[in-house]
Amino acid sequence: MRSGFLLLAGLMIAGSARAGNAESLDVEVEAAAAAEFAPRSPGNDLHALFYKEDPDRWAAAAGVWWARLEGPIAFDDDTKLDVSETLGLRAVKSVPTARLAWRIGWLELELDGFWYDNGGAAVVSEEFEIDGVIFEIGDVIDSDIRIYLYRLTIGARLLHEDWMTLNFQLGAGALYTEGRITAVNVDKSATWDTWLPLPLVGFSANGYFIKYPWTYEVEIGWIGFSQRALGANALEVRAALGYEINDWVLFKVGYRFMGINATVDSLSAEIDISGFFLELDFFF
């Protein structure tokens, strides 16, 4: 009788131990699953922002900039055309943008550009002349203007924290502008095209906005040079808020402003390009 009681007690203890082990195993499995699928935070070693600790990383971005072009273009210091009103261009034009970046340790190499192309029709209200072609009051003109930017930038990291990464930037590129004005009621047309070199000195900062996964970025750059009949100065400002969709994709919405004052031979321009943009960044 006594031996039977001891056997029963032993079986109950063994069963209890097995149940405890099963419960412990269940807890471990649940903890592992939670760690695997939990949202990542700035404390993790993997997140979408380009300044993560990984020493080498690529980033590619594509976006749309709803740009407003304003200001005059002057020819031979006499004829001044308001690029939006005189030429009948669309007030706001969607502009594709692209960017490719590669970080090597504390250095970042970035290639970026945009392609502005706008056209319209208008009736000449004030006589003007371009390259010997005179457009008279009442002429019906068809216009097209293109502004393309290509730029390579080298950035050096000055500060690196979860809340901010600060970079100093040096860049070089070119701004290409091309235009055509044709009077559809008479047989006359004027065209122009020119390349303008664009050096750049600036700063950029990005980081998490209050907390993960919200992000921010701010960039400011200045351009300035003068040589004989060629000269330019410009200010570029870009600010954006972002949301990390996952470890490899970042969505941004922001505002971009570029003010350009340039002279190339007989062509001078004082134009502003500004507007909101959307951008999708991919990291790999």
DSSP state at residue 213: T
Give the pLDDT score at 219. Answer: 94
**Distance between CA atoms of residues 2 and 8, nearest Å:** 10
pLDDT at 42: 44
pLDDT range class, residue 253, cuts 50, 70, 90: very high
What is the percentage of the chain residues whose pLDDT exceeds 90?
A: 31
Q: Which residue has the tokens 């004030």?
A: 126
The whole-number pLDDT of residue 263 equals 72
90-99, 131-140, 219-228, 244-253: range with lowest mean pLDDT: 219-228
Mean residue pLDDT of the chain comes to 78
| pTM score | 0.77
Q: What is the pLDDT of residue 93?
A: 93
pLDDT band at 53 (very low <50, low <70, confident <90, very high): low
Q: Which carries the bigger pLDDT value, residue 54 or residue 35?
A: 54
Question: Under 8 Å CB-to-CB from 168, ≥6 apart: which residues?
Answer: 155, 156, 158, 202, 203
CA–chain centroid gap for 20, Å, is 56
Q: Is the pLDDT of residue 108 over 80?
A: yes
74 — pLDDT class (breaks 50, 70, 90):
confident
User: Residues 85, 70: contact at Cβ < 8 Å?
Assistant: no
Which SS3 state, helix, strand or coil, does residue 162 take?
coil
* Pair of tokens at residue 135: 């457009």
Distance in angstroms (rounded) separating the CA atoms of residues 269 and 87: 15
Residue 46, C-beta contacts closer than 8 angstroms, at least 6 positions apart: 40, 52, 54, 247
Q: How far is CA 174 from the centre of its chain?
A: 17
pLDDT of residue 55: 58
Q: Evaluate the CA torsion angle 46, 48, 52, 58 in order and state its sign.
A: positive
pLDDT of residue 279: 98
User: Residue 245: left (phi > 0), alpha (psi -120 to 50), or beta?
Assistant: alpha
Judge whether residue 34 has pLDDT over 50. Answer: no
**What are 197-222's pLDDT values in tens digits?**
777 899 999 888 877 788 999 999 98
